[in-house]
Structure 1
């Protein structure tokens, strides 16, 4: 069935996850008329709905710390701001460290975080176990505890931003895939969708793992690689601890868990995963790998079965940092993608940054390290993608 879509727009946002919804709200709120958001499926149905919901400021890069702090600030009052409850809890992040180099790096990062107002600190293994009772400390050297970090419900955040964007006049169109983007002499002229054409001179690519395809439509290389990540949920735990961090992460292995209902959410980044749009939830091999780590770091978890799970996509850039920029090659193209697993927590600041770039205003955050041209041949030759 062909649906009715606007024939023209001031700006078209491609992608209906947390990034796209936040951008739609911030643009519309700032007075931009004719904001149109296009989502190929349902809102929050891509990577956002598969996210673990973590929100943190415990980064090793000053700009990411500030962006994370903004996420924590906004999500802590999201219900009052947007009339949408998002189940935000600030129960902290705990990073388990068993490599001397990692201990050194985290110690330096904690100093940087403290300088920006983040109350993180290094703790010994015994205190780490008091904070996260399910862990075992064998082989651990130290841990990093960031009590101000937290988690929320990603889908609820998207719905809150989308509703607020509509109240400010934005149009949100679901089940409408972008087929192509036309340009003339380096200037965008229209967005071509499966339901018709929209005349516009401004496009925001917030398409997550699908961003490379959007860039290709305009001849702009957006170096985002899709990579499957799986999450599983345990059956209820008979002795679930009274308290547990928003996320406990075994840093060397990327195994993590947090309470979810009466059980646990379990995650692990399989180092043998290959790139691509594989969204099959394939538990057996993945669970074997996770089980080897859990047997050492949190063996009590192995006593419980898996009730369900899912697979989602990370949108990974070569340096694992996001792209927030205005294209130098195509007039009218703004890019907000490549968050490499951090998109949910960066949603609030990303909306503000793209709003400011749209209006020609210097953002309040230093986004120098997040420009697209850091991946150019010249930048790569100079080693300019070493962002930590």
Structure 2
């Protein structure tokens, strides 16, 4: 593409991942002339392809609960509506409690979750073992179970959004890096890449782990800091596990871990490091597999016989309070932020994409205002989201 090329779009999205690609789909669905710019060769090549695929609405705040519920609705009906198999599987989520501390945390969260109408309930030991017979029964107190949560393939999903966005007229420019903004009169007047210059009415920052650098081009210091998390996948085995299992007990080197059996039979698992591993390093480590294996086998002894096929490492774009940042910047005022998803970009992506389209169209709904107030770029970053 020659440097002299100069095109105008109603919206330019920076980032073709878990947020930017659904946003392009919903914008194109509403007839908005949209361009997506990504430095990678195809959609979903950064954090999206490193996500393990869990999708839940069982959060602890109304913003992510509402976005999660809408995302589940979109994921679960996608195949019937658009024809693409994205490997949606409604296996549910189970948060286990082996100690009184976790029992207390989970039961307190239930009160808030029930107030938002979530289908999640406390199961005692006997009831939980009926749902997940292979849990280690020793010291098991019980856990929460949300049967309407599930999983899907991040890569199949992002490519489905991409194909339909293109069909509806959205443009995607890959292998292209945003280098500079022209700022004038409190707005982004032009977006300069290593290939061309573009103008737009609105620019959306959906750059995931690189969102802070994109913010700096507009003179913003976004509190989004990449944190490295490792994950792995096993050989496929006959299905024996339905829900995602989450253990929130802290242990040396980790604050929690989670695993589930994918629709195709593999066990996929991940751990949350403690302390955080800040930075953009995506090289696997030798510490991850021994650490997570011990924890997983303790909770589900049956797993000790399954062979691990591959490990990898991805970035969780974290914010100080564990909540995403969604909304317009004060300056530049046409800079729309959808950043800091804290590792939940895939599960929140469809709901966020739809919300961004309503923001662009200036057609927000009452529920949107609640979400936008909680996730406002101008908020005070205090407190911690309990199930981040």
Note whether the superposition's TM-score is higher than 0.5: yes
Aligned partner of 1:302 in structure 2 is 304
Q: Secondary structure at the match of 1:269?
A: strand
Equivalent pair of 1:94/1:245 in contact (CA under 8 Å): no
Q: Does 1:246 align with 2:251?
A: no
Aligned partner of 1:39 in structure 2 is 38
Q: Can you give the 5+ residue segments of structure 1 that lack an aligned partner in the other structure?
A: none
Whole-angstrom CA distance in 2 between matches of 1:166 and 1:386: 38
* Coordinate RMSD, CA, aligned: 2.1
Aligned partner of 1:107 in structure 2 is 107
Q: Secondary structure at the match of 1:200?
A: strand
Q: Secondary structure at the match of 1:128?
A: helix
1:65/1:206 Cα in 2 relative to 1: closer, same or farther (>3 Å)?
Answer: same
Aligned partner of 2:335 in structure 1 is 333
Instruction: Give 2:378's match in structure 1, choosing from 373, 381, 386.
Output: 373
Q: TM-score, normalised by structure 2?
A: 0.90
1:1-388 residue pairs with structure 2 within 5 A? 7-33=7-33, 35-41=34-40, 42-237=42-237, 240=238, 242-253=239-250, 254-260=256-262, 261-282=264-285, 284-363=286-365, 364-365=367-368, 366-367=370-371, 368-374=373-379, 379=380, 384-388=382-386
Whole-angstrom CA distance in 2 between matches of 1:263 and 1:134: 16
1:5/1:277 Cα in 2 relative to 1: closer, same or farther (>3 Å)?
Answer: farther
Q: Can you give the 5+ residue segments of structure 2 that lack an aligned partner in the other structure?
A: 251-255
Equivalent pair of 1:96/1:144 in contact (CA under 8 Å): yes
1:4/1:25 Cα in 2 relative to 1: closer, same or farther (>3 Å)?
Answer: farther
1:21/1:3 Cα in 2 relative to 1: closer, same or farther (>3 Å)?
Answer: farther
Q: How many residues of Structure 1 are paired with residues of Structure 2 in the alignment?
A: 376
For residues 96-123 of structure 1, the C-alpha deviation after alignment (integer angstroms, 9 at most, x for no partner) is 1234343233223323333433221001
1:3: Cα distance to partner?
9.0
1:286: Cα distance to partner?
1.0
1:168: Cα distance to partner?
2.1
For residues 41-60 of structure 1, the C-alpha deviation after alignment (integer angstroms, 9 at most, x for no partner) is 02011111111111111111
Whole-angstrom CA distance in 2 between matches of 1:386 and 1:278: 25
Equivalent pair of 2:316/2:343 in contact (CA under 8 Å): yes
